[in-house]
Amino acid sequence: MNARQRQNKLSSITIDDAVNHHAWLRECFTLELKMRLTCSQYEYYENIYHCALLLHQIADLSDLELLFSAKCSGDMDLGSGFDWQFLFLTEPDSLKQYALSINRSDIAAWVDNYKTSYQEEDMDGWLSHTNSYYGVKTAIQK
């Protein structure tokens, strides 16, 4: 599947159906991260954000390391453009506990650094805006 095909598939996945595509979203995210890090002129650069948005809404804590790998990849665009909100799959204390349970003190420290931002953020507003930007629907429109 090429980047355009991945973009089209991402556009077809609704929030209600995202969990049924969870494994594919993880694979797509990994591939998109690789493309972003190896191809400076990658045309489909927003695919990774779209994947992150859908993964965020699945809210599986096991995706935390994958999402963190993009935010902290060393790539300037991802470092600044990859919304920190994507990583908050749950509230900060549970997220930190999970990070510590998988021996990721670096992620736990990151969560601590962003805890106040999370508490001050209108997460529902961010999610609504971001879903709108990517055209993500709750369910398939009939």
Tens digit of each residue's pLDDT (9 = 90 or more) over 28-68: 999 999 998 898 788 898 899 999 999 999 999 999 999 99
Q: What is the pTM of this model?
A: 0.90
| Greatest pairwise CA separation for the chain in angstroms | 46
Residue ranges per structural domain of the chain? 3-83+123-134
- Class of residue 4 by CB neighbours under 10 A (exposed 0-12, middle 13-18, buried 19+): exposed
Q: Would you state the pLDDT for residue 72?
A: 80
Q: Mean pLDDT by 10-residue block, N- to C-terminus, for the chain (142 residues)?
A: 93 94 97 89 88 94 93 76 83 93 95 86 89 85 56
Q: Would you state the pLDDT for residue 117?
A: 84
Q: Would you state the pLDDT for residue 140?
A: 62
Phi first, then psi, for residue 33 (nearest 5°) are -65, -45
Distance CA 126, CA 123 (A): 5
Q: Would you state the pLDDT for residue 103?
A: 97
